[in-house]
Structures are given as C-alpha cells and as structure tokens.
Amino acid sequence: MKAAIYIRVSTDEQANEGFSIEAQKRRLLAYADSQDWEIAEVYIDDGWSAKDLKRPEMQRMMKDVSNKLFDVVLVYKLDRMTRSSTDCDQLLKLFEANSVKFQSCTESFETRTATGRLFIRLVADIAQWERENTAERVRFGMEQMVMEGRRPGGPIPYGYGKDETIIEDEAAVLHLLRTIYMGGDGIKAVAVKLNGMGLLRRGYKWTAFSVWYSLDNPYYAGKLRYGSKKANGKYASRKKEGVVDLIFQDSNHPKIFTWEEYEEHKAEMHRRSFTGHSKVREYWFSGVLICGRCGAKMSGRYHQNKRKDGSYNKITSYMCVSRQTGKGCDMPMFRQELVEKLVMEWIEGISLDHDQIKEVAVTKEISPVESQREILLKELEKVKERRKKWQRMYADDLIDESELRAHNSDERQNEVAILAQLDQLPLEPKNESEPLDILFELPDLWAVINDIEKHELILEMFKEIELYTDVVKPHGRKGHFIPAEIKRVVYR
C-alpha cells in the first residue's frame, strides 16, 4: 500500500510540544514501516496554521489525492491536518471519493472502518467547539475594552493619525462627504463626486462602501461601538429578535462630527432604507458566482410560480452556465436568498479569524503587464518546485531539519521578493485603506441600499464566490433551502 505523509508545524513553539518536523517525521516513518507501507510522497507545511486548507502542501496533497497517487494519508495527529470540522468533512469526502484512507499514528481512529469515520468527525466537532469557545472569550474581552472606553484594536479610521489625533485635511474631506450626502446624493454618487474632485482616501478611490462606513461609524462622533450580529448561532439582521444589543460607549478621542450631526445623518440613512429600493428586481450576485462542481460561471434567472390564490411568487435564482447550455453539469439552481444567506454567514464566520483577516487585507487585484507578470509567475513556480525538492531530500535523510528550515527560509525570501515585484506592476487602486472593517459592516449596509447598489457593491468587494452543494435533485425541499456552502472567495 502506498502512503502519503503529511506534516505541519505552525510555530517554533510547537517544537517544545513534540510537534517538530523531525519528531513527526520520525514517528510517521516508523509507523509506516510497521504497517509495511511504501512512502509515495511527503508533504510538509512549515509555519502554516490549520485554520483552513489554504496551505501550499495541503493543496498539492489534495490534488494528488484526486489523481490517486497513493492509498492512505498518514498524519501524526488530526490537528496537524485540520482544526475545522467543516474542512475535516471536506477532506474525508475527498478521500472517500478517491478510495484513499486516512490514518493518525497517535490517535485511535482511522477511516478504514465506519466506526473510525464516525469517531473522527466527532473529534473534529470537539476541536471546532474549542475554537469557537476561544472566539467567545475574545469577543468578551473586546466587549470589556469598549465598556472601559478603549478602542478594541483594528485600524484607526480615516481622519485620525496613529495617536488618534485629528488630521485636519482628512477631517475636512469627511465634512464635505457628509454635506454632499445630506444634500440629497446617494452613497455611490458621493464617492463619484469626491473622486472627481481628486479627494482620494489616502491614495485610494472612494467607493460606496467607504462612504457608507464613514457615515455609519460612531467613532467620528466620539463613541465606540461593539455588538453581535448573531441570533441563535446564525446570521440575522440587528433588527430581528434575539440579536445582542449594540454597545455605544463614550471615548476620550477628539470628535470630527457632533453626536447630533451623527444622529441626523443616521436618521437620513434609515429613511432612505425604506424609500430608496428599486422596484425592478436585480441580480445581486451576477458576475461573481462560480459553480463549485465544474468551475463554470453561474448566471441569473428569473421565473414565477403561481400561487393557489392566483397571485405569482417571483423567484430569482442562479444556474451554472454549463448546465444551462447542456454541457453535462448537474449543479442545481441556487435561490438568490440562499446566496445572500451564505455570503452573510461567510462574513460572520471570518470576522474573528485574525489570520484570515490579515490575508484578506493584503489581497489586491493587479493590472496585468503580461510579459513581466508571466516571468514573475514562472519564478514563483520554480520556488514551489525547489521547496518540493528540499522536502524530498529531507524525507530521504539527505538533509536534516535545520538545513530544511534554512532552505525554506531562503525560498520564502525569494517568494517575498517576487511578490514585491508583482506588486510594483502598474495597477489602479481599487480598495479603500480599511477594506476589512467595511467588509464586516456589509450586512448592515445591505439593509439600507437598493437592488442596483447591492449588485455594484458585490462587484466592488468580490471577484469570485464559489458555491457548492452535494444535492443533485432538490425535490421535496419546498419552503427550505438546499444544504449548500461557499467553497472559496476571491476578493478584489
């Protein structure tokens, strides 16, 4: 039987807990030898968290699983592979679909039996519970900071310096922004006017997101805000029953707006939320949805169902283009309300994941300069290949752990240098300086804008949203959403 060994170390501190690369490798090779397994490949993610599956060697292993290059995946402990019950379930389904088994050499479960598969899912659920429990403690600590009048981390808003003093030029732009909005212009029109005047937001263009965020943020009126957007464990509007009340706490930092001004323009935003909706149904997510089954685009469809009373139920859905054109994909249609629910849950799910926050924050859309870009991307591929070579040499005992770490460090420096060159290619700024705060406020913004603005904002924030469901024929689900998930998101 051919076996693949997967090794992961997130920090140097884990070496003190017995999880070093060398320790894992020694135990895994000994276990494979005791089972008379042939080692087909070794995958080592050095310095990567198990918060998701976006790790270079994990992605390579998943691809090799699909290509059936081995019969079993062997790890030191389950948490070396994943700490998410959702990711665990995804991996087990991938393994089962390709007849690949999973085995931990230090824990009494595996996937070669039904009992083993059940137990591993239970363990993954417990790990997920521990992670969410930690998130609750973090949330409590942040709430306490707000109650004490201290800002609970995050970037300092536009208009203020690092010491939280007012930057007069930026404050003047914020006052102008408010004046234009209160004069009757919508949030999109305000952004267009400010950009047309050359009043960029620290070098970035104003967008509808950043205009709305500047008007909605009570920090400019001298108060801190904190609150939960969850009700019964699921995303819900703050207007619905069961949502934890928002906390507004006075702070000592200087104000740009008075509290009366803040309440005035918030009342105007609330008024427009009831009068500004378009009567024409808009496809909110057209242009960004990807079929998780075949990779094709998904396009909007509109149809009506006649009710018993003679009225019509208007339904907006999204269908895989490959299915629509008869190319064989069996992905069912997604109701627009389901996509909306999944997107809001996705945002809620990453709001306390600081590693993922950092990853989203640095994501940029680079304008292609094809010849230079292709050369740099090829160099990146060479770096990846060299990493694989060092790992194979380490697995074959041709180099030791210190040499492997030294080579990996060199390759990371090469990667950083290449990425820096890619970043210097000509590009047009597209994102505001604090995209994450605005991303996390999207559920609130969603409630006060019309259909056309929703579509525009989705296109501004997201490049791709990949949808997936195991369901093929969603019959007998009237009145209920099909079980579905977002597999991948690419931000602009």
Q: DSSP state, 84?
A: -
| Candidates 10, 85, 317, 322; catalytic one | 10
What are the distances in angstroms from CA 190 to CA 101, 208, 442?
A: 57, 8, 18
CA torsion through residues 338, 296, 492, 278, sign: negative
Interatomic CA distance for residues 214 and 26, integer angstroms: 55
CB 484 within 8 A of CB 342: yes
With contact defined as beta carbons under 8 Å apart, do 101 and 91 qualify?
no
Residues 6 or more apart whose CB falls under 8 angstroms from that of 386 comprise 407, 411
Between the alpha carbon of residue 5 and those of residues 64, 77, 291, the distances in Å are: 12, 12, 31
CB 395 within 8 A of CB 42: yes
Torsion angles phi and psi, residue 300, rounded to 5: -80, 145
Nearest partner of 365 among 479, 490, 186, 226, judged by Cα: 490
317 an active-site residue?
A: no
Count the neighbouring beta carbons within 10 Å of the beta carbon of residue 115.
10
Token pair of 406, please?
């030294």
CA angle 335, 337, 342 (to 5 degrees): 100
Q: In what order do the strands lie in the sheet with 462-468?
A: 289-291, 462-468, 485-491
Active site residues: 10
